[in-house]
Amino acid sequence: MTARKDIVTINAVDRVVIVGGGTAGWMTAAAMSRFFDNGRRKITLVESDAIGTVGVGEATIPPIRNFNGMLDIPENEFLRATHGTFKLGIEFVDWGRKGDRYIHPFGNFGRDLHGIPFHQLWLRENARGGGADISDYSMSSVAALMGRFGRPSPDARSPVSEMFYAFHFDASLYAAYLRQLAERQGTIRREGRIVKAHRDGESGYITSVELEGGIHIEGDLFIDCSGFRGLLIEDALETGYEDWSHWLPVDRALAMPTSNIASPAPFTRATAHGAGWQWRIPLQHRTGNGHVFCGAFMEDDEAERILRRHVEGEPIAEPRLIRFQTGMRRKAWNHNVVSLGLASGFIEPLESTSIHLIQNGIARLFSLFPEKEISPLERDEYNRGMREIYCDIRDFIILHYKATQRDDTEFWRYVRDMEVPESLARKMELWRLHGRVFRENAELFTVPSWVAVMLGQNMWPERYDPIADTLDEQRVAQAMEQMREAYRQTAQQLPTQEQFLRQAGAWAADHAPMATAGAMR
């Protein structure tokens, strides 16, 4: 039978070559060797110790737990190995206006009543002059700001059942942990620098990569995890890159670790500065810091001075400058190359989505994995899905900049006044009218996430949804107060994060004792 022209037939996808290690490469290798070892398939990862990795992606969001669970990684062992801590959300400082603080917690705000979203009831109560800060109605945010932690309770009646969490960890240690796992499962690691990719003259497919010294590594499917360069997806296939820097103009970051000065807080902090923002990520053994900024509005030297002035603890390494361009490849899967991680695109570190995009790309590839032929229909479906999640995340990140009242620097005036994608403009207008937010398709960020940022940055709707008026005001107010008090009392009874890590056997033994953790504001 003659193969259709739009389908390239191969004997079987038995040779998978992963180009590049780091977080993306070893996540892919660990998952691939676990679930796609059919007895014939050979999985090879090529990396060079001489080529560094970006390796600053130390904060995650809750779906990472699903990935680790899929690989049967014991959580306490993983935390010890990566010097990890728990993360209950992100605190934003100086984003709406200077002096503002709010937290974007994992999980929900309160509990819906009779099918009416909790935030609509909170908006009505606020309009009446009552109600506390909306963060007081989130178990995750209340515990985070007290420096407390507990794993979710299986008892749905307990407020602890409403705790959602992710992790902070050392990205290089995570990659090393996954490497050990992948190699135990049969992944073959090849050391060497790739100097050329060879393509089939008829199909355009990559047939092999050539290392220094002339060694060829052949493959049927190639996974490009080579970082910003995109060694295969861009250098070899010239796929093209869609630039989003007009919406997300930050284009560089200075990363610098410091020693801990207190017990690690269970949340990330993002503090806005004159032309960007600074992250603080507390690990067991150190604190990760970085200043993300726009080179068009701030010189590198000034950005470094700001970073040094605002870090806590003593620097334990010199600042490292990382340059990037926000956007994504025009195709994440082109010919027989699938790009993952920084090779596929980069939005920026805000909201800690980089590792999730790797995870999502792996899961999507698994669901569309080719057998004996690569179908353009399935390849297009992969690209459609990846574009959808990239654009969803892009809009949510843009919101943080657009929804500012700051006018103290040229940078903040630019992002405040810029045009935004129509998809985001529509969401913002729906919110402005009646505080309505709708989760579309398989969006990563749920309604409470949008609510947290919009309220946290002073975006108040003109009126709450009138459906809230169908419930009795006094009964709703009483129920809300009971929720708030239950969250407060429950959080006070939880151990500090460090106490929990030590009690669970998740604290690495070589760390010195820390000070007792309290509220980390």
Q: What average pLDDT does this structure show over 418-445?
A: 94
Does the active-site annotation cover 87? Answer: yes
The owner of tokens 């806590």 is 312
State what percent of residues in the chain have pLDDT above 70.
94
Closest-CA residue to 310 (of 254, 249, 248, 251): 254
Question: pLDDT (tens digit, 9 = 90+) per residue, 463-492?
Answer: 999 999 999 999 999 999 999 999 999 999
Question: pLDDT (tens digit, 9 = 90+) per residue, 305-332?
Answer: 999 999 999 999 999 999 999 999 999 9
Is residue 303 a contact partner of residue 293, using CB atoms and an 8 Å limit?
Answer: yes
Helix axes 410-417, 376-402, angle to 10 degrees: 120
Rounded-to-integer distance, Cα 322 and Cα 278, Å: 14
Helix axes 118-127, 473-493, angle to 10 degrees: 110
3-class SS string, 84-114: CEEECEEEEECCCCCCCEEEEECCCCCCCEC
CA distances from 412 to 80, 101, 277, 348 (A): 40, 17, 11, 17
Question: pLDDT (tens digit, 9 = 90+) per residue, 232-286?
Answer: 999 999 999 999 999 999 999 999 999 999 999 999 999 999 999 999 999 999 9
Rounded-to-integer distance, Cα 302 and Cα 506, Å: 39
What average pLDDT does the structure give for the chain?
Answer: 93
Q: Which domains occur in the chain, in start order?
A: 11-103+164-240+252-372 (3.50.50.60), 104-158+392-495 (no CATH)
Is residue 347 a contact partner of residue 393, using CB atoms and an 8 Å limit?
Answer: yes
Selected catalytic residue, list 87, 331, 402, 427: 87
Q: According to the model, what pLDDT value does residue 3 have?
A: 45
Structure tokens at 64: 């990472």
State what percent of residues in the chain have pLDDT above 90.
89
Is residue 19 a contact partner of residue 46, using CB atoms and an 8 Å limit?
Answer: yes
Question: pLDDT (tens digit, 9 = 90+) per residue, 81-134?
Answer: 999 999 999 999 999 999 999 999 999 999 999 999 999 999 999 999 887 999
> DSSP 3-state assignment of 328?
strand
pTM above 0.85, yes or no: yes
Q: According to the model, what pLDDT value does residue 440 have?
A: 79
Is residue 58 a contact partner of residue 171, using CB atoms and an 8 Å limit?
Answer: yes
Q: How many residues does the chain have?
A: 521
Rounded-to-integer distance, Cα 269 and Cα 481, Å: 28
Rounded-to-integer distance, Cα 397 and Cα 379, Å: 27
The owner of tokens 């353009």 is 376
Rounded-to-integer distance, Cα 199 and Cα 179, Å: 29
6 falls in which pLDDT band (50, 70, 90)? low
User: In 10 A of CB 482, how many CB atoms?
Assistant: 10
CA distances from 23 to 54, 80, 174, 366 (A): 9, 17, 7, 18
